[in-house]
Amino acid sequence: MKLGRYVLALAAALLAVGGAGAQELVVGLSTPVTALDPHFHNLSPNNNVADHVFDKLVHKDAKEQLRPGLAESWKALDDTTWELKLRKGVKWHDGTEFTADDVIATIKRIPNVPNSPASFATYTRPITDIAAPDKLTLRLKTARPHPLLPNDLVAIRIVPKHIAETAKTEDFNSGKAMIGTGPYKFKEYVAGDRVVLERNEGYWGPKPHWKTVRLRMITNAPARVAALLAGDVQMIEAVPTADIARLQKEPRVTVSSAVSNRLIYLHMDSDRDKSPYVFDKSGKPLEKNPLKDVRVRKAISLAIDRDAIVSRIMEGQAQPAGQLLPDFFPGTSKKLVAPKVNQDAAKKLLAEAGYPNGFSITLHSPNNRYINDEKVAQAIAQFLTRAGIDTKLEAMPSNVFFSRAGKLEFSFFLAGWGAETGETSSPLRALIGTFSPATGMGQANRGRFSDDGVDALILTAMTNIDDTKRNLMLAAACDKAIGELQAIVPVHYEVSSWALRKGLAYTGRADQYTYAFEVRPAK
Amino acid sequence: MTVYVLRRLAQTLLVLAITSLLVFFGLYVVGNPVEILVNPVADEVERARAAAALGLDKPIVEQYWVFLKGAFTGELGTSFVFGRSAIEVIVERMPATLELAFLAMLISVTLGVPLGLYAGLKPKSWVSKTIMAGSILGFSLPTFWVGLILILVFAVQLGWLPSTGRGPTVDVLGLQLSIVHWEGLKYALLPAINLALFKLSLIIRLTRAQVREQSLLDYIKFARAKGLPRSRVIGVHLLKNILIPLVTVVGLELGSVIAFAVVTETIFAWPGMGKLVIDSIFQLDRPVVVAYLLLIVFMFILINLVVDLLYSALDPRVRLGEQK
């Protein structure tokens, strides 16, 4: 009896997988791929597809920790010299052998891709010299100590030398130049519709389960869910939060979730003496900018009920945030936790700062960039209004939002940051370090927070190539910047979700990528 | 006649110039493409490089001048996002949109005219009342909702048709078409029905109103009194006269279905131009948006011209080119 039921369940599982042919996997992606050239546009959907065809020297696991890729090992010989040992016997999809020359040619191509709207040169610029003592060894020189060089190498997809030297962006789109060493070979690309891939039988790494993979672009979220339920696709990414609960009950589907590296936070103008969107209660501009006062910034943090946002608005698809990245990432602080809401303490801090009756402010937010961004901002505005800071919300499409934020037009806004390095120096440098083209810090610090102590902690940490020591210093910088000075107000970490037909398994990735080669039948 | 067509084409150029000016400066006001395109981790050096590579570092007037110079040689700029000629990117998606639009119009005309005729000739029968009630639904239900319901019923519950996407294509005279064979047609049915629903209702109501109005006119009475068979009265005398307003509406609706199938294309993941232009607006890919709108304006002008020419063919009283 028991055995019979077991066999039935197994048969059902096999049928579910077998629906579209057990050897083919169809995936519904949420954003369109715009170019196949892996060095043309640094954009997640493009990188996601490129990673199926091209390998990197260094790979990342689901929790964003570094793993050997085309480089079997890497070490720093001194503060500014790195040596990488390359994998032996790796073959390109056209059968030729992979060598150090291919890497050198790739790194030379990256800053010189014509018309690139967002190049990968940011990652190769620190490399001042590159040499290959033998076919499988690379020596990289940097001008200054650059401890994140291995992390940066994760962004560089390696192409063969003859392609790096001659191929144009359109040669990749046509498929002619789509030769990598990755788990899948390129087969077909229909703009705005699909990418079809074929398994690379000679792959050096773990053999992917699926012989063919079709990556389909289904941008509308309900349509993506419907396609999964109809069995037209076996896996979708970016499951809408409103559908998660229903899909979890659905017998034909399993849901996989993982907390991501994306922090949703509030930035405050803590620089200008007079800020454009801060008013007194009667609507007159305030002469003094209250956001410069750390007590006001802390009051804002305490007034927000993160648990309510996570459970009600995000339907559990987020984690309350107390710092820049979830605890398991390197460089996070052990001391910082997500504050519990405390309206009384918030009011008290406001009174101490000289605003017993509060003030008025406008919160700006994008409305199509992050998961439920406008609704989250709406809730935050209500929490703050309850604490005495009358908050008006102005939400707008991200194309308008980011242009205006870049021109420092806002006083107070909601935004997000995905730490693609998988450690805290990325948000520390970008969001909190003093804006300065010389240090390269603060490129997204649109509140223009600035503190010499924090800067010093970050900059010293970034000259230390010892991972353990550096991460301790970064944690100290987080303690000072968030715990002591409240440079920004962390709200939550987004949780990303994937839904699959029953019988399939996928370990959700913190970098939010959807890799068909990591999808397997459930055990 | 020739003078008339030439004069209309000259007007076209003026309209196109004004459109390009409005769109170009309109998008400039919306935002700075560099902020959207560049990866957030990029530093100032990279931002400056991207701006220069895309020609966005020049003053806006100069950027427009560069665009105009290109436009006169038929080149409407290079897409920021795709790195390819904007026209090329659009034309590549055109067959998908066109075949969907034609299928939708085919459905609405072949169903709409007979149903409207019936409802107009027998206004009191319950079948006519059902048709008219149904057409109200077709008018009032929002496209995105109907689209999702169609998917849920025919793809998820019944499993008869695929839920989204475009089927395999066949090369027809150099065009990649999917609706010419069943494998591809079954993908196109649901989106085409979704697009057709509104037009269908419109055509039913318009036909019915025309039939009701014309049936009472003397020429119909006269034809009947002459003893002509009913089929000839309806099929020749009546139908020919109700066609004039129908042709106008069908022409304009065909234009709008090609240009604004955005919602349906998005829901059904149909890789057409509508989806492309929405994505391009969000990414501030100005060359694609400008080229697309110029193309659409041109198409509307052309359709209007064809409609006007059809008028004179259908109704000899209408003569073109007489106004001096």
- Would you list the DSSP string of B148-207? HHHIIIIIIIS--S-SSS----EEETTEEESTTSHHHHHHHHHHHHHHHHHHHHHHHHHH
| pLDDT at A60 exceeding the cut of 50 | yes
Using DSSP, state whether B282 is helix, strand or coil: helix
Per the CB < 8 Å rule, is A192 touching B271? Answer: yes
| Cβ–Cβ contact A399 with B under 8 A | yes
| Pair A487, A292: CB distance under 8 Å | no
Between CA B202 and CA A293 the distance in angstroms is: 62
For testing contact with chain A, the best of B30, B34, B37, B39 (most A CBs within 10 A): B39
Per the CB < 8 Å rule, is A192 touching B45? Answer: no
Residue in B83, B159, B162 nearest the CB of A115? B83
Distances from the Cα of A141 to the Cαs of A81, A146, A411, B28, B176, in angstroms? 5, 10, 42, 42, 51
As a whole number, the mean pLDDT across chain A is: 92
| pLDDT at A215 exceeding the cut of 90 | yes
Residue A427: closest CA among chain B residues belongs to which residue?
B41
Beta bridge mates, A79: none
Q: Looking at this protein, which amino acid is placed at residue A123? A: Y
Using DSSP, state whether A309 is helix, strand or coil: helix
Residue in A42, A217, A397 nearest the CB of B39? A42
What is the tens place of the pLDDT at every residue in A275-288? 999 999 888 899 89
| Pair A120, A42: CB distance under 8 Å | yes
| pLDDT for res B172 | 82
How many inter-chain contacts (A to B, CB under 8 Å) are there? 167
Q: Are strands A66-68 and A58-60 parallel, antiparallel or unpaired?
A: antiparallel
Per the CB < 8 Å rule, is A230 touching B162? Answer: yes
| Cβ–Cβ contact A420 with B under 8 A | yes
Per the CB < 8 Å rule, is B81 touching A35? Answer: yes
Contact list in A for residue B53 (CB cut-off 8 A) is 114-117
| Pair A30, A149: CB distance under 8 Å | no
Per the CB < 8 Å rule, is A230 touching B283? Answer: no
Residue A340 per-residue DSSP state: P
Residues with Cβ within 8 Å of residue A462, at least 6 apart in sequence = A145, A147, A148, A425, A429, A470
Residue in A42, A119, A226 nearest the CB of B151? A226
Tokens at A444, concatenated? 């997204």
Residue in B31, B268, B275 nearest the CB of A403? B31
Closest CA to A445 of A295, A262, A288, A265: A265
What is the tens place of the pLDDT at every residue in A67-114? 999 999 999 999 999 999 999 999 999 999 999 999 999 999 999 998
Tens-of-pLDDT digits for all 324 residues of chain B?
678 878 888 888 888 889 889 988 888 888 888 888 888 878 778 888 888 888 888 888 888 888 888 888 888 888 998 888 899 889 888 899 999 999 999 999 999 999 998 998 888 899 999 999 999 988 888 888 899 999 989 998 888 999 888 888 888 877 788 888 888 899 999 999 999 999 999 999 999 998 888 888 888 888 888 888 888 888 888 888 888 888 888 888 888 888 878 889 988 989 888 888 888 888 889 899 999 999 888 888 888 888 888 877 777 777 665 544
Between CA A322 and CA A479 the distance in angstroms is: 10
| pLDDT for res B321 | 58
- Look up tokens 């996070």; give the residue: A332
For testing contact with chain A, the best of B152, B158, B164 (most A CBs within 10 A): B164
Q: Find the DSSP H helices in A19-120.
A: 44-53, 100-109
Per the CB < 8 Å rule, is B37 touching A226? Answer: no
Tokens at B181, concatenated? 């064979």
| Cβ–Cβ contact B263 with A under 8 A | no
Between CA A404 and CA B32 the distance in angstroms is: 9
Per the CB < 8 Å rule, is B42 touching A191? Answer: no
| pLDDT at A5 exceeding the cut of 80 | no
| Cβ–Cβ contact B267 with A under 8 A | yes
| pLDDT at A217 exceeding the cut of 90 | yes
| pLDDT at A17 exceeding the cut of 70 | no
Phi and psi (nearest 5°) for A38? -70, -5
| Cβ–Cβ contact B38 with A under 8 A | yes
Contact list in B for residue A220 (CB cut-off 8 A) is 266-267, 269
| Cβ–Cβ contact A423 with B under 8 A | no
Q: Looking at this protein, which amino acid is placed at residue B147? A: G
Residue A428: closest CA among chain B residues belongs to which residue?
B41
Contact list in A for residue B162 (CB cut-off 8 A) is 230, 232
| pLDDT for res B56 | 87
In chain B, which among 207-246 make CB contacts under 8 A with chain A?
Answer: none
| Pair A239, A229: CB distance under 8 Å | no
Q: What is the pTM of this model?
A: 0.87
Per the CB < 8 Å rule, is A118 touching B46? Answer: yes
Contact list in A for residue B166 (CB cut-off 8 A) is 193
| Pair B194, B143: CB distance under 8 Å | yes
Q: Which segments of chain B are extended strands (E)? A: 170-172, 175-177
For testing contact with chain B, the best of A123, A193, A423, A436 (most B CBs within 10 A): A193
Q: How far is B162 from chain A (nearest CA, A)?
A: 7
In chain B, which among 64-123 make CB contacts under 8 A with chain A?
Answer: 78, 80-84, 89, 92-93
| Pair A180, A92: CB distance under 8 Å | yes
Between CA A195 and CA A386 the distance in angstroms is: 50
| Cβ–Cβ contact A35 with B under 8 A | yes
Contact list in A for residue B31 (CB cut-off 8 A) is 399-400, 402-404
CB environment A75-96: b (16+ within 10 A), e (fewer): ebeeebebebebbeebebbeee
| Cβ–Cβ contact B162 with A under 8 A | yes
Q: Give the least confident one: A9-18, A326-335, B223-232, B303-312.
A: A9-18
Residue A367 per-residue DSSP state: S
Q: How far is A190 from chain B (nearest CA, A)?
A: 9
| Cβ–Cβ contact A116 with B under 8 A | yes
| Cβ–Cβ contact A192 with B under 8 A | yes
| Cβ–Cβ contact A112 with B under 8 A | no
Distance of CA A114 to the CA centre of its chain: 26
Q: How far is A435 from chain B (nearest CA, A)?
A: 10
